[in-house]
Amino acid sequence: RVTTEFWAEAIGNGKSMCREAAANLREAADALGEAAARARAHADTFDLAHAEVETADAVVLGAKRKRSEEKDETAAAAVAAAPPAQQQLEEEDSDAEYEPE
C-alpha cells in the first residue's frame, strides 16, 4: 500500500532532481555563453587579420605596379635621351636579332 510518506518523499526527490537539473542547465548555459563570447572574439580577431592582409596585399600590388611604371618611364627616358645614331644602331642590332635565317 502506497503511503502519504512515500508520495511526499517521491515528490521531494523529484523537486530536488529538478532543482539540480536546473542548476546544471544554468551552468551549461553559462559555459556555452562564455565559449560563444570567446568564439566571437576569435572570429573578430580573424576578421581584423584578414583585413590587414588585404590591405598589405593592396600595398604590395600598388608598389609593384608603381615600380613597373617607373621602370617603363626610365627606359623610355633613356631611349629618348640616346643620340639618334645610337638609337639607330640599337634598332639595327634589334632587327638583326630577329631576322629570319
Q: Where are the domains of the chain?
A: 4-98
**Residue 42 burial by CB count (10 A; 0-12/13-18/19+): exposed, middle or buried?**
exposed
CA distances from 55 to 44, 66, 97 (A): 17, 16, 44
pLDDT in tens, 75-98: 888 877 776 665 566 666 666 555
Using CA atoms, how far apart are residues 94 and 88, in angstroms rounded to an integer? 10
Q: 59 pLDDT band (50/70/90 cuts)?
A: very high
**53, three cell numbers:** 592582409
Q: 51 pLDDT band (50/70/90 cuts)?
A: very high
**55, three cell numbers:** 590591405
pLDDT at 32: 96
Note if the pTM is more than 0.85. Answer: no
10 C-beta neighbours (distance < 10 Å), count: 11
